[in-house]
Amino acid sequence: MKNKETFVVSSPMGALTWAAPVFVWLIAMSHGRAATFSTDFNSGLPPGASVYGTAVVDSAGGVGDSGVLKLTPALPSQQGSFLIDDLDGGAPIASFSATFQMLIGGGNGADGVSFNFASDLPNDSFGEEGAGTGLTIAFDTFDNGNSEAPAIDVKSGGVTIASVKGILDLVRINDFVDVSINFSADNKLDLNVNGYAVYSGLFVPFIPTEGRFGLGARTGGLSDNHFVDNLTITTATGLPAEPVVRLASPQGNLVRGDAVLAITIQDGLTPLDPASIELSFDTVRVTPTLSKSGDLTVLRYDPPGLLPAGSSHFATMRFAGVGFPASISSFSYSFGVANYVGPNGNFYEFVQASGIPWESARQAAEQHRFCGAPGHLATITSPEEDVYLENLRQVFVQESGLSLREFWAGGFQVPDQPTTGDGWMWVNNEGPISDRL
């Protein structure tokens, strides 16, 4: 199981889908520094790289029984990673391509491999869920509950933005498969695995940054070999000639009802012309507020009132640089609002918090605001509320890709009780916990 915990905030009154934005015409590139890292692992650990945990470079076991990176053997409770030093001397990386051959198999099926780029990758081992707050591609081969896997997930800032299920026969075949990753300077991701286009032109929220590349893998109670061979990574630091969208929020299908649209555009060699911006929300032309810091312009639009629970929305934008003739660029994306209204009219939200104890979760929930209302840990006082929260939990697992089996709710035991089953109460003065739910 993955070590994640969440809690649910409740506020009074108040097949997985993912949305891929559409882009056009952002292909012209400025000249920038490029670097390449390439190894077949036949000469041991390559210069400028490190291994952690169970990862080793072995002289046999690779393609044609050549040298290979073994992140984990097919043994339980293994975790290993391979990190590459900064390839560009601290310069922000705007685009990269990577190719390698990956083997998953030879055991009884867990847990997978991750490919990562981030400025904060740890000098430590990490697993199939990845690490850092940059870009992660997770080849997750084991379902920890609610069909969150097998899947190939894409994460940005630690948040899953896309997930393709049903990939086990694509990657876990106990033989090496070709993997090709291309991340363009206008934030579009192409991923091909074993001859199959898993993602094509997927928008990934990302601002160019310095950083390191790393691969990680993990096993648990079940296990597999996780091997990598013939790795090549090529980076580029050049920016597009025209302005480009770097960030867009909200994302996914668990968006809050009080969400504010925020889109970040970075200047290219040609700066953004603010007068060229045209934003529409659900086909209606709207006027965003603009703020600029350095070469980044942030557009914000706050829809009036609350977005209805379970509703879907669509934003489109046109913009251009200050050059003449202007090169018009287009961007669009969609998102879905969570079903945040429970059967009792209260508002609910899952909040992810790693390793948080109950008392800290209670305090955090009471300081939380959702749709303008104060919160508390969820209380479950009817069968209908119990069913609603379980359905919400399953949707959260599907959307987030986390292995969420349990979450903190607002039940506690009054001190000095005669037995472990006595004196259980709900927070918010909602009375004793019934054993008949």
Helix (H, G, I), strand (E, B) or coil at 391: helix
Helix (H, G, I), strand (E, B) or coil at 383: helix
The tens digit of pLDDT for each residue in 319-349 reads 999 976 778 999 999 999 999 999 999 999 8
Cα separation, 213 vs 126, in Å, equals: 13
Q: How confident is the model at residue 19 (pLDDT cuts 50, 70, 90)?
A: very low
**Span 29-236: which CATH code?**
2.60.120.200
Contact assessment for residue 110 and residue 201, using Cβ atoms and an 8 Å cutoff? no
Which residues are within 8 A (CB) of 293 and not within 5 positions of it... i.e. 6 or more apart? none
Q: What is the largest CA-CA distance in the chain?
A: 81
Q: Is a pLDDT exceeding 60 seen at residue 301?
A: yes
Give me 332's structure tokens: 């669009």
Q: Where are the domains of the chain?
A: 6-14+339-426, 29-236, 244-336
Q: What does the radius of gyration of the chain's CA atoms come to, in whole angstroms?
A: 24
The number of C-alpha atoms within 13 Å of 275 and in the hemisphere containing its C-beta is 3
- Average pLDDT, integer, range 183-207: 96
Which residues are within 8 A (CB) of 270 and not within 5 positions of it... i.e. 6 or more apart? 241, 242, 243, 321, 322, 323, 327
Burial class (CB in 10 A: 0-12, 13-18, 19+), 134: buried
- CA distances 220 to 72, 108, 144, 252, Å, are 11, 11, 11, 29
Strands (DSSP E) contained in 282-379 are: 284-286, 289-293, 296-301, 312-319, 329-336, 347-352, 369-370, 373-374, 376-377
pLDDT value for 210: 96
| CATH architecture, domain 244-336 | Sandwich (2.60)
The tens digit of pLDDT for each residue in 88-139 reads 999 999 999 999 999 999 999 999 999 999 999 999 999 999 999 999 999 9
Helix (H, G, I), strand (E, B) or coil at 323: coil
Contact assessment for residue 68 and residue 58, using Cβ atoms and an 8 Å cutoff? yes
The tens digit of pLDDT for each residue in 365-419 reads 999 887 777 899 999 999 999 999 998 888 887 776 665 567 899 999 999 999 9
The tens digit of pLDDT for each residue in 159-169 reads 888 999 999 99
19 vs 276, residue with greater confidence: 276
pTM: 0.82
Cα separation, 146 vs 419, in Å, equals: 34
Instruction: Outline where 53-111 has alpha helix (H).
Output: none
Q: How confident is the model at residue 17 (pLDDT cuts 50, 70, 90)?
A: very low
- CA distances 400 to 158, 162, 337, 341, Å, are 10, 9, 14, 20
Q: How confident is the model at residue 225 (pLDDT cuts 50, 70, 90)?
A: very high
Nearest to 5 by CA among 366, 402, 410: 402
Same fold, 29-236 and 244-336: no
Helix (H, G, I), strand (E, B) or coil at 192: strand
The number of C-alpha atoms within 13 Å of 261 and in the hemisphere containing its C-beta is 26
Q: Is a pLDDT exceeding 90 seen at residue 70?
A: yes
pLDDT value for 388: 93
